[in-house]
């Protein structure tokens, strides 16, 4: 009897934690979106692996594989900020219906050229650029659409759950792709990805329009400069922008880090690199779920997350053995996603609804577009010195940036009370 009574508080605490972690799923529209997004992300990661395998088969060049991903994100680097103006001008649900359908169409084209045997590497590059232009509009719109589904109170929780979806797909997608490539061929991976996009399309169509919290549209045409001036004018967002720029450029290059670590440091093969990515993926899921459980965001939380992320990178770089480095990748992955989820939610909570697309375009540019520049730089550092040096440099710069920003930001925040939302004061 005593044992049963003592177990009741622990079960109650578990239920409360579970409800906090997955609280956004109580919302009908978000529940639909969550399920569709999970299917779509698995398909996207299947295509990512199959595309790399296809280019490597066609060219035998690792440089060509890297160029494929650079081609996908180059449009984000060049035109990403304009995608935010589209997200702020038109109905975001309708935008997503268009972008998801276009992404599906591109996957169908890739399937057809591979299936019919006419594929050439330039076709893969061209389709990657096409997908990049879709991403220019799709990414900021998806981020900005979250609050319309769940409201401001559950925004941080929903952003973290979206991260959990993407990072769990990072583990399962490549594994499924590997099975399909071995059994039915690489072409059918692209077909499956094309079909997976319609899970999101179906979810968007089935949503209850009356329950969406649509922002008030402004009569004037949204301008890129207006979004930049607005975001930089808010102290909390300004600090977060700097940190996201540092992390996006130097840290979010894990395929480069881990591939070179596996080959040059541990003298392994592609199997070891894939295993290290899978271990990192496990950590990212833990980090996303912890962010969903916490479901709060503040300038200090973003700064602290950046410090902890940098420290985990420095520690992982300094560990002497393969086993220890592999274990350290779990907290590295956890803190990388916790920082990203926290920074994303913080930038959204601190911004006005009618400007959120442009604010999220800045976030997208700094997390995806900067890899076009950061990837080659990180690869050069790892090749010139060592992968451990590259990891250590990324960690050290991240900690340094957070420390430099900490004192002036906290000092200025003490001098005033900041209310979230459009009423935030600017300097």
Torsion sign over Cα 224, 405, 336, 268: positive
100-157: per-residue pLDDT in tens?
999 999 999 999 999 999 999 999 999 999 999 999 999 999 988 988 998 878 887 8
**C-alpha–C-alpha distance, residues 1 and 13, integer Å:** 19
CB atoms within 10 A of CB 300: 13
Q: Residue 1: pLDDT above 60?
A: no
10-54: per-residue pLDDT in tens?
666 667 776 777 778 888 999 999 999 989 988 988 888 788 778
Give yes or no for a contact between 45 and 209, defined as CB atoms under 8 angstroms apart.
no
Name the 3-class secondary structure at 118. Answer: coil
Give yes or no for a contact between 397 and 274, defined as CB atoms under 8 angstroms apart.
no
pLDDT number for residue 422: 43
In this prediction, residue 425 has a pLDDT band, given cuts at 50, 70 and 90, of very low
Per 3-state DSSP, the chain is made up of helix, strand and coil in percentages (nearest 5) of 85, 0, 15
Q: Residue 255: pLDDT above 80?
A: no
Torsion sign over Cα 107, 359, 347, 377: positive
159-202: per-residue pLDDT in tens?
878 877 776 776 677 778 777 887 888 899 999 999 999 999 99
83-97: per-residue pLDDT in tens?
889 988 889 999 999
pLDDT number for residue 247: 92
Highest averaged pLDDT of the listed ranges 274-278, 296-300, 307-311, 339-343: 307-311
pLDDT number for residue 171: 67
Domain boundaries, the chain: 23-211, 223-422
Distances in Å between the Cα of 261 and the Cα atoms of 81, 230, 255, 272, 391 are: 34, 41, 10, 9, 10
And the tokens for 204? Answer: 């968007």
pTM value is 0.81
Phi then psi for residue 281, to 5 deg, are: -60, -40
384-416: per-residue pLDDT in tens?
888 899 999 999 999 999 998 887 766 666 665
pLDDT number for residue 419: 43
Name the 3-class secondary structure at 153. Answer: coil
Burial of 245 (0-12, 13-18, 19+ CB in 10 A): middle
Q: Residue 218: pLDDT above 70?
A: no
pLDDT number for residue 12: 64
Q: Residue 62: pLDDT above 90?
A: no
Highest averaged pLDDT of the listed ranges 56-60, 220-224, 325-329, 363-367: 325-329
Rounded average pLDDT over 326-339: 92
Q: What is the CATH number of domain 223-422?
A: 1.20.1250.20
Domains 23-211 and 223-422 share a fold: yes
Distances in Å between the Cα of 354 and the Cα atoms of 49, 125, 358, 365, 391 are: 37, 35, 9, 19, 38
pLDDT number for residue 420: 46
Mean pLDDT of the chain: 83
CB atoms within 10 A of CB 395: 23
Architecture of domain 23-211: Up-down Bundle (1.20)
Q: Where are the alpha helices (DSSP H) in 151-215?
A: 155-183, 187-206
pLDDT number for residue 415: 63
Q: Which of 293, 272, 249 is nearest to 398 (CA)?
A: 249
pLDDT number for residue 95: 95
Higher model confidence: residue 424 or residue 331? 331
pLDDT number for residue 217: 66
Highest averaged pLDDT of the listed ranges 25-39, 221-235, 362-376, 409-423: 25-39
Give yes or no for a contact between 250 and 378, defined as CB atoms under 8 angstroms apart.
yes
List CB contacts of 138: < 8 A, sequence separation 6 or more.
83, 95, 96, 99, 100, 103
**C-alpha–C-alpha distance, residues 368 and 370, integer Å:** 6
DSSP state of 24: G
Torsion region of 4: left, alpha or beta (phi above 0 gives left; psi -120 to 50 gives alpha): alpha
């Amino acid at each position: 009897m005593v044992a049963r009574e003592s177990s009741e508080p622990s079960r109650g605490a578990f239920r409360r934690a579970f409800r906090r972690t997955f609280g956004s799923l109580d919302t009908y529209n978000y529940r639909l979106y969550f399920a569709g997004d999970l299917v779509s992300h698995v398909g996207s990661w299947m295509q990512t692996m199959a595309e790399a395998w296809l280019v490597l088969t066609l060219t035998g060049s690792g440089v060509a594989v890297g160029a494929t991903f650079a081609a996908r994100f180059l449009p984000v680097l060049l035109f990403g900020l304009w995608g935010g103006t589209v997200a702020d001008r038109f109905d975001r649900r309708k935008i997503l219906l268009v972008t998801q359908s276009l992404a599906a169409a591109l996957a169908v084209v890739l399937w057809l050229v591979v299936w019919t045997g006419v594929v050439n590497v330039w076709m893969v590059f061209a389709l990657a650029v096409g997908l990049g232009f879709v991403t220019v509009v799709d990414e900021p719109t998806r981020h900005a659409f979250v609050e319309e589904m769940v409201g401001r109170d559950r925004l941080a929780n929903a952003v973290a759950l979206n991260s959990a979806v993407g990072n769990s797909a990072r583990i399962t997608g490549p594994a499924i792709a590997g099975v399909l490539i071995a059994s039915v061929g690489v072409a059918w991976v692209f077909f499956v990805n094309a079909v997976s996009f319609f899970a999101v399309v179906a979810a968007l169509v089935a949503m209850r329009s009356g329950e969406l919290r649509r922002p008030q549209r402004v009569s004037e045409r949204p301008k890129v400069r207006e979004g930049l001036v607005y975001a930089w004018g808010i102290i909390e967002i300004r600090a977060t922008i700097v940190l996201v720029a540092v992390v996006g450029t130097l840290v979010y290059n894990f395929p480069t880090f881990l591939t070179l670590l596996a080959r040059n440091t541990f003298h392994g093969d592609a199997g070891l690199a894939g295993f290290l990515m899978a271990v990192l993926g496990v950590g990212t899921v833990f980090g996303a779920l912890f962010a969903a459980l916490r479901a709060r965001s503040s300038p200090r939380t973003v700064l602290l997350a950046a410090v902890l992320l940098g420290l985990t990178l420095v520690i992982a770089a300094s560990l002497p053995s393969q086993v220890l480095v592999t274990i350290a990748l779990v907290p590295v992955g956890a803190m990388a996603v916790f920082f990203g989820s926290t920074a994303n939610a913080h930038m959204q909570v601190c911004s006005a609804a009618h400007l959120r697309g442009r604010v999220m375009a800045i976030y997208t540019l700094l997390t995806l577009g900067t890899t076009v520049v950061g990837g080659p730089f990180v690869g050069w550092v790892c090749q010139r010195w060592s992968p451990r040096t590259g990891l250590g440099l990324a960690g050290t710069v991240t900690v340094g940036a957070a420390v430099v920003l900490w004192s002036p930001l906290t000092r200025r925040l003490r001098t005033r009370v900041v209310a979230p939302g459009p009423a935030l004061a600017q300097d």
